[in-house]
Amino acid sequence: MYDGDPQNGIDGQVHCLDNTTRIPPDQGMWIYDLCLATKPKSTLEIGMAYGFSSLFFLAAIAKNQQGEHTTIDPFQKSYWHGIGLNQAIEHSPTLADRSTFRFIEDRSDRAATDLAREKQSFDIVFVDGNHRYDDILVDFYLYAQLTNVGGHIIFDDLWMNSVKTAVEFIRTNRRDFREVISSQANVRVFQKIGEDKRKWHEFSAFKVFSPTGSTK
Ligand SMILES: C[S@@+](CC[C@H](N)C(=O)[O-])C[C@H]1O[C@@H](n2cnc3c(N)ncnc32)[C@H](O)[C@@H]1O
C-alpha cells in the first residue's frame, strides 16, 4: 500500500489510492511499538480511510497475541470503497476462535453513545477522523469517558491549527490527563491518570492557533 499500488475494495473492484491519506510508516511503527509496550486489551481508531493505521494496530494484536481493535468511519464504504475494511478483514488475527476486529460504520459522536451503552472501554484511542476543531474536541470529550485510567488518547495531524488548539484546551483544562512526550512531531499523546473531577464552572483560558499561525 505504501508503494501506492491500487487496492481491492469491498465492492470487488480495484481502486487507485490518493497517496496522501495515510499515516507515515514511522508513525505506524510508533503506534505498533506503543501497543507492544503497553499490551492494550482494547484499541480504537476514529477514521479508517485506506486502513494504514488499522494495520499497525492489528499487527500489534498478532504480535501480542491479545487485544481487540475497533475502527469507526461513516464513509468507509461510500467514499473509500471499503479498501481499509478489506485490508483489516484480511489481516486481523483470530484469537481463541474470536475475531479481533470490529468496524462501526457511523460518525464517531454517534458511535460513542452506543459504545458507552455497551459499557465498552479502551486502552488506546487514536483520533484521526474529522479534523475540524469542534469535532476533535467532541471526540476527545466523548472518548475520554471511554478510556481506561492508564490508557492513552493520541491525536494525529498536529500540523493543523484545529488539532493544536484542541490539544491546548486539554493541556490547560483536563487535569485527569497528562501529556506524554513522544518521538512523533505530528502527534500529541495524553494518558488518562484519573477521573474528571472538575467543578461545574471550571474553565481556564487556553491558546488558540489562528489560520496565520499566530497565537492568542
Ligand atoms: C485522515 S483519514 C484517516 C486515515 C487513517 N487513520 C490512516 O492512517 O490510514 C480521516 C478519516 O476520517 C473519516 N471521518 C470523517 N468524519 C468522521 C467522523 N465524524 N467519524 C469518524 N470518522 C470520520 C474519513 O472518512 C476518513 O476516512
Pick from 81, 83, 138: which is nearest to 107 by CA? 138
Task: Report phi then psi at 15, rounded to 5.
Answer: -125, 145
Answer yes or no: is the C-beta of 74 below 6 A from any ligand 1 atom: yes
User: From the CA of 129, how far away is ligand 1's center (Å)?
Assistant: 4
Map residue 181 onto helix, strand or coil: coil
| pLDDT given for residue 59 in this prediction | 98
**What local confidence, expressed as pLDDT, does residue 215 receive?**
56
Mutational test site, ligand 1, from 10, 15, 18, 21, max ligand atoms within 8 Å of CB: 21
CB of 189 shorter than 6 A to ligand 1? no
Ligand 1 contacts CB of residue 49 (under 6 A): yes
pLDDT digits (tens, 9 = 90+) for 11-70: 899 999 998 999 999 999 999 999 999 999 999 999 999 999 999 999 999 999 999 999
Tell me what pLDDT residue 163 has. 98
- For residue 82 and ligand 1, the question of a CB distance below 6 A is answered with no
Cα–Cα distance measured from residue 6 to residue 125, given in angstroms and rounded to the nearest whole number: 29
Q: Which domains does the chain have, with CATH numbers?
A: 7-192 (3.40.50.150)
Q: Are 123 and 168 in contact (CB under 8 A)?
A: no
Ligand 1 pocket, residue 93 CB under 6 Å? no
CA-to-CA distance for 208 and 187, rounded, in angstroms? 18
Q: What is the pLDDT of residue 211?
A: 78
Task: Tell me if 165 sits within 8 A of 193, measured CB to CB.
Answer: no
d(CA 164, CA 200): 25
pLDDT at 168: 98
User: Does residue 22 line the site of ligand 1, with CB under 6 A?
Assistant: yes
pLDDT one-digit tens code per residue, 101-139: 999 999 999 999 999 999 999 999 999 999 999 999 999
